[in-house]
Amino acid sequence: MCTDTIVLCLCSYPMQPPVVRFVTKVFHPNISRHGDVGLDSIHHNWSLALTISKVLLSIQSLLTDPFWYVCMEPTIGQMYRNNIRDFNRIARLWTWKYAMHDYLKPLSDSIVPKTLHTL
């Protein structure tokens, strides 16, 4: 995986939440096309008790178990809810294309619907 995957800006931390952004494109309902993370605890419910390790653990949990009810990318959230097989296939392709392209070759780029190429 790329080493520049996450950027943390700790300018006013811990009084304000850190700014967390993915540099690598991620196919996920809770990660915006700009790399912003849709995590309530770093946007609206910040607490001084939340450490950087807890923030990163929350992001890891969100990546593993997407919250598709309210998401930053509704099209991807709808695919996750209605067609998990296609979601997983496209997520794997994006992982290869944007994070692992030096290591593996994809099976085919044609498995991605044209509407998702613009994300």
User: Are 77 and 38 in contact, with CB atoms under 8 Å apart?
Assistant: no
Q: What is the pLDDT of residue 10?
A: 79
Q: What is the CATH number of the domain that holds 110?
A: 3.10.110.10
Of 111 and 50, the structure prediction assigns the larger pLDDT to 50
| pLDDT at residue 26 in the model | 94
pLDDT tens digits, one per residue of 71-83: 999 999 999 999 9
Helices (H) and strands (E) in the chain, counts: 4, 2
Residue 105 lies in a domain: yes
User: Band of the pLDDT at 3, cuts 50, 70, 90?
Assistant: very low
**Domain limits for position 68:** 6-116
With 0-12 / 13-18 / 19 or more C-beta atoms within 10 angstroms meaning exposed / middle / buried, residue 36 is middle
Q: Does 1 reside within a domain?
A: no
pLDDT of residue 80: 97
Q: CA angle, 61 as apex, 55 and 67 as ends, to 5°?
A: 105
**pTM of structure:** 0.78
- Asked whether residue 58 is assigned to any structural domain, the reply reads yes
Domains of the chain: total: 1
What is the pLDDT averaged over residues 50-55?
A: 92
pLDDT, the chain, mean? 84
Asked, for residue 62, whether it belongs to a domain, the answer is yes
**What is the average pLDDT across 50-78?**
93
